[in-house]
Amino acid sequence: GGHWVMLALALLTVLLIIRSNRRFRAKKTEEEGDTLFRTIITTEDKTKTWQLLLIYLTGKQRDFLSYAGSCYKAVTSAFIAENARALGKTESSLLHWKNSLKSDRRKETLCLRHVPSHRKKHMVSPVKQLLHGHSVQFAAHQRDMSRTC
């Protein structure tokens, strides 16, 4: 009887090592993947900082719009097919993106410290605020719909 217990503990140990390795790789990829942000923070020339920040914000907005389009397609397809599992996956994906948007907002705030003060008044983007508001409303609507299923 002791062999099965040892085998189960060995299997559990292997699974924990694999899980830890995956988390470490994901964290490392996230840290290394944002080289533009690191460049903005380390650049001494304020005029270059502004240009880099605009490129950074444009890229983040493009990524979000791409995600929003694919998420919209997934939700509509799931509603048509009455697929509760796909809706659940989309909800968890939305929660991940919500945390990602919070992280991006913090990074933008850090970048603003390196931008000349006369440029900061241009930072509030009505389109970005509108998109953020719609994403929050969409997540709330989806959460309400998943509770009724």
For the stretch 18-72, pLDDT in tens is 999 999 888 877 766 678 888 888 888 877 888 888 888 888 888 888 988 999 9
Mean pLDDT for 81-94 is 89
Name the percent of the chain lying above pLDDT 90: 16
pLDDT at residue 125 greater than cutoff 90:
no
Q: What is the pLDDT of residue 50?
A: 83
Which of 3-7, 42-46, 143-147 has maximum average pLDDT?
A: 3-7
Name the percent of the chain lying above pLDDT 70: 77
- The C-alpha atoms of residue 74 and residue 58 are separated, in whole angstroms, by 24
CB 144 within 8 A of CB 75: no
